[in-house]
Amino acid sequence: MLKLNHLDYYRLPWNLTDNIINWLEPTSKCNLYCEGCYRLNEKDGHKTMEQVREDLDVFQKFRISDGVSIAGGDPLIHPDVIEIVRDVKKRGLKPIINTNGLALTKELLAELKKAGVFGFTFHIDSKQGRPQWKNKNEIELNELRLHYAEMLAEAGNISCAFNSTVYEDTMKYIPEITKWAHKHIDIVHVMVFILYRAVNNRDVDYYLGSKKIDMGELVYNEDPETRTDIKAPEIIELIRTEYPDFEPCAYLNGSEKLDSFKWLLAGRLGTKQKIYGYMGRKGIEAVQMFNHLIYNRYLAYATPKDARKGKLMLLMGAFDKSLRKTFFKFYKNPLNIFRRLYYQSVMIIQPVDITEDGRQNMCDGCPDMTVWNGQLVWSCRMEEQLKYGHNVKTYPKNFMN
């Protein structure tokens, strides 16, 4: 496996009280089954607007942030989704809809734009069992991805991002998906690969205090035939088969393993025909630090208008050697002065993994914190809170005997 040195990249400054986003769950009801989902699909899972506002109050009490990921479940089926977006916007935060897209229509999109929606993150992958898309592979699903990207582009100035959960048998498609995102760099602003995780019953046991827990009581998946230890450097290695110069610029480490890559970010600059280079560690540091200095918050999502200002970003080449290299490569052709240069983020997220001694390696300073009983908790482990009131602990097999 490819070896990456975390010290070569900018450690993203996000922490639990000063972060880029919050994870709002107005509903746990969903209109689609996704393999690997960590939330129970509840028929009566909608929160009231009063409850939603209480959750938003908790975020603002404990956390400075740039945006709110409105998730679930699927938030588009919440009857008050437009009001939720409007409320988030009124609080001076960016409303980002995290959805599978099934319920999105042009009419609903128009209403959400009026309410102030900033962007969408569409979760699309081949393990969802989508109507009319069953048995389609990741490459065939690019047609569906493009449908949503074009819908947002037509609506105008709405950020477009895609999530895809990566499984052992879908890893091979990553280079082609990354190539597809490049081809549509003008309307696809973020591409996120989320590495599949499941309950590990082979190496550890789960406990709440001294009581051993049967994790089969929760919706977390256990698939002994599927790898649950895919690491971010493996994905970088795959992407480099298509883009040999592909290089991350920033990361978020694990809470227990400091040199692990829980969030690994690359920022590439290019036209629809060619990638000219990548943001370096100093460039992304400048973006985060200047945004915090001016707006008192770290930057979560850029507007599509800003993503089109790649040539302006090249000015940071004065102190970022990677951008300096990109500058000279781009302007080697004098005609490029008349061409637009786009910026696109590629993110790899590696959820909780367990160390050999049983510790749970979480995202250090997790951006996706949500609310439970008035407190911030990990959104990816909410089912433990709902079932037991606490997160369970893990120990090596037979350690407690």
CATH number at residue 56: 3.20.20
Q: Is residue 216 domain-resident? A: no
Give the contacts of 295 (CB within 8 A, at least 6 positions apart): 66
- Across the chain, which distance is largest between two alpha carbons, in Å? 71
**CA distances (Å), 164 to each of 36, 126, 264, 289, 375, in order?**
11, 9, 15, 29, 29
pLDDT in tens, the chain (401 residues): 899 999 999 999 999 999 999 999 999 999 888 887 888 788 888 999 999 999 999 999 999 999 999 999 999 999 999 999 999 999 999 999 999 999 999 999 999 999 999 999 999 999 998 988 988 999 999 999 999 999 999 999 999 999 999 999 999 999 999 999 999 999 999 999 999 988 887 889 999 998 999 888 888 776 667 788 899 999 999 999 999 999 999 999 999 999 999 999 999 999 999 999 999 999 999 999 999 999 999 999 999 999 999 999 999 999 999 999 999 999 999 999 999 999 999 999 999 999 989 999 999 999 999 999 999 999 999 999 999 999 999 999 877 66
Q: How far is CA 212 from the centre of its chain?
A: 32
Number of domains in the chain: 1
Closest CA to 145 of 111, 190, 109: 190
Q: Is residue 233 domain-resident? A: yes
Report the pLDDT value the prediction gives residue 401, as an integer from 0 to 100: 62
The structure tokens 């993503």 sit at 307
Q: Give the helix/strand (H/E) hosting 344.
A: strand 342-349
Q: What are phi and psi of 343, to 5 degrees?
A: -110, 135
Q: Is residue 363 domain-resident? A: no
Q: Is residue 365 domain-resident? A: no
Report the pLDDT value the prediction gives residue 202, as an integer from 0 to 100: 82
Q: Is residue 297 domain-resident? A: yes
Report the pLDDT value the prediction gives residue 226, as an integer from 0 to 100: 78
Q: Is residue 166 domain-resident? A: yes
CA 320, CA 348: separation in Å to the nearest integer?
22
CA 247, CA 266: separation in Å to the nearest integer?
6
Give the contacts of 22 (CB within 8 A, at least 6 positions apart): 59, 63, 65, 67, 68, 69, 93, 369, 370
Contact 156, 111 (CB under 8 A): no
Q: Is residue 139 domain-resident? A: yes
Q: Which two tokens stand for residue 72?
A: 């679930």
Report the pLDDT value the prediction gives residue 277, as an integer from 0 to 100: 98
Report the pLDDT value the prediction gives residue 78, as an integer from 0 to 100: 97
Report the pLDDT value the prediction gives residue 200, as an integer from 0 to 100: 81
Q: Is residue 393 domain-resident? A: no
Report the pLDDT value the prediction gives residue 7, as an integer from 0 to 100: 97
DSSP code for 31: S
Range of the domain at 343: 9-199+223-354
The residue type of 260 is S
Report the pLDDT value the prediction gives residue 272, as an integer from 0 to 100: 96
DSSP secondary structure string for all residues of 227-273: -----HHHHHHHHTTT-TT----EEE-BSS-TT--SEEEEEEEE-SS
Angle in degrees, 0-180, between the axes of helices 81-90 and 49-62, rounded to the nearest 10: 30
Bridge pairing between strands 10-11 and 250-252: parallel
